Structure 1
Amino acid sequence: MRPTRRAVRPITPLRAAVLISVVCAAIAVLALAVRAGTDQASAGQPAVAAQHGSAHLAGSDSAGSAARDRPAEPQPVTEVDSVFLVKVRQAGLWEIPAGRLAQTHAASEAVKRAGLHLLDGHSKLDQLVREDAAILGVTLPDEATEEQQGFVRRLENARGAEFDRLFANLLRASHGKIFATIAEVRAATQNDLIRRHARQANQTVMDHMEVLEDTGLVDRETFREVEEAVRPS
């Protein structure tokens, strides 16, 4: 007896459309699954990178903190540095009184103006030198040298035109000599405070030399005296 064959149903256009829709849906689901797995793997990588980056930054910050916390090495204060501070202090101890005398004893307005520059500049330098000396442990004098005190006495005993010429020449000679010393100290010092002080002193002394020269009273002999004093031996 022959087996009965099942009749094959013909594929109608409607049935073909349904089959195509099912296949497309399956492909879409599979694609979404693959994409989801890829995104999850990618998301894990930045997290690891971020973790490594954070560790690196933390390490850098720790190194920076250690560098900041490390005590700075003490800067040397040489004998030249100490002598320089002493000279700046002594200059103020006689040039500030000289500037005051110019306001009462001078006849020239240019000399009075120079005296005001001396008062202002050396008052600021004197405050700075006392602060720096206290920090660096340098002992400063309370009196000018004997020679400088003698300059003040000569100015006290002069009046008018005599005072003007004496003032211009004494002060210009003094500033010219210390100006050369400032350059030597600034060129050689290893101390930051001394460098700052030398820079301020340089600007102050330059200003004073110019206002003294502006009086028109500085003699050629004064410039020769300074040249002789600062000439290399």
Structure 2
Amino acid sequence: MLVVKRLGVLVSMVVLGLAPAGAAYSAAAPSATPSATPSTALSAQDRQFLQSMHQVNLAEIATGNLAKQKGTSQEVKDLGGRFVTDHTQLDQKVQSVASSGALTLPNKVTSEQQAVINQLQNVNGADFDTQWITAQLTAHTQAMQLVQAELTQGSDPSAKQVAQQAAPVLQAHHNALVAAAQSLGVPIPGGTTVAPSPGVSSGSPTRSGTPVTPGPTIS
């Protein structure tokens, strides 16, 4: 009986001696939940590009709808519809990247863009076609410069991808506008020729009014 009691005491001592070691291991065990890695913040250039490109798209959708409604020539009407479709798709990509980067986009066009929209709303007939083509050549030239700045100075991969996708679309639009201007006898304003971005064909239009380079598909 004495032997049994002594064995019981020894077992109790062993258990008590192990308890602190087990507690220490539990406290030192690393957490199973990995720490979240913060996303890369958009640079000032990326933010400016996305906000400005969004306003470009809003303006192009508005003026494109005006062309569909008020255009005299079928060329202007068709270009208006094409611009609405393409810039709506481009803006979906802009909004997606902005949302991922927690960037708030402006809810209206710039004052300069609004002035152009107002001017087009107040003209009709052949004058509308002339002023619409002229305004669109200027707007697309500025948009291509905006894209080129992002391609060379941007840092966020998603924002730069938006620029890469927009570049051939804008170039194709510009080519079609030049062709329409030549076909309808609209003078092409100076300073509206921009060298295409790397990898983007200039697609010089023919005098027949048909661009050599077809409009790209936006995926």
- Band of TM-score, shorter chain: 0.5 to 0.7
The structure whose residues are more often helix, as a share, is: 1
Q: Quick one: distance in 2 between partners of 1:204 and 1:183? A: 13
Q: Give 1 or 2 for the bigger CA radius of gyration.
A: 1
Corresponding residue for residue 224 of structure 1: 191
C-alpha displacement at 1:207, in angstroms? Answer: 1.8
Q: Is the 8 A contact 1:85 1:129 kept in 2?
A: yes
Q: How does 1:106-145 map to 2 (within 5 A)?
A: 106-145=71-110
Opposite residue 128 of structure 2, the aligned amino acid is F
What is the RMSD of the two structures over their aligned residues, measured on CA atoms? 2.1
Task: Please tell me whether the aligned partners of residues 54 and 105 of structure 2 are also in contact (alpha carbons under 8 angstroms).
Answer: yes
8 A Cα contact 2:46 2:159, kept in partner: yes
1:189 Cα offset (Å): 2.0
Gap change, CA 1:176 and 1:73, over 3 Å in 2: same
After TM superposition, give the deviation of residue 136 of structure 1 in Å: 0.8
Measure how far apart 1:200 and its partner are.
1.4
Question: 1:176–1:115: structure 2 CA closer, same or farther, 3 Å change rule?
Answer: same
> Any stretches of 5+ residues in structure 1 without a counterpart?
1-68, 228-233
> In structure 2, how many angstroms separate the alpha carbons of the residues matched to 1:163 and 1:104?
11
Q: How many residues align structurally?
A: 158
Aligned twin of 1:43: none
Aligned ranges for residues 97-112 of structure 1 at < 5 Å? 97-112=62-77
Q: Pairwise mapping of residues 1-233 of structure 1 onto structure 2 (< 5 A)?
A: 74-216=39-181, 217-220=185-188, 222-224=189-191
Structure 2 residues without counterparts, runs of 5 or longer: 1-33, 195-219
User: How far apart, in 1, do the equivalents of 2:186 and 2:121 lie?
Assistant: 19
Q: Please state whether the residue corresponding to 2:40 is helix, strand or coil.
A: coil
The answer to whether the Cα contact below 8 Å between 2:46 and 2:155 also exists between their aligned partners in 1 is no
Structure 2 length as normaliser, TM-score?
A: 0.66
Q: Identify the residue that residue 59 of structure 1 maps to in structure 2.
A: none
8 A contact 1:173–1:226 mirrored in 2: no
- Render the CA deviation track for 1:124-174: whole Å, top value 9, x for unaligned: 011111111000111100000111111111111111210001000101101
Distance 2:176 2:59 in 1: 18
Q: TM-score, normalised by structure 1?
A: 0.62
**1:175 Cα deviation after fit:** 0.7
Once the two structures are TM-superposed, the CA of residue 196 in structure 1 deviates from its matched residue by 1.1
Does the 8 Å contact 1:94/1:144 carry over to 2?
yes
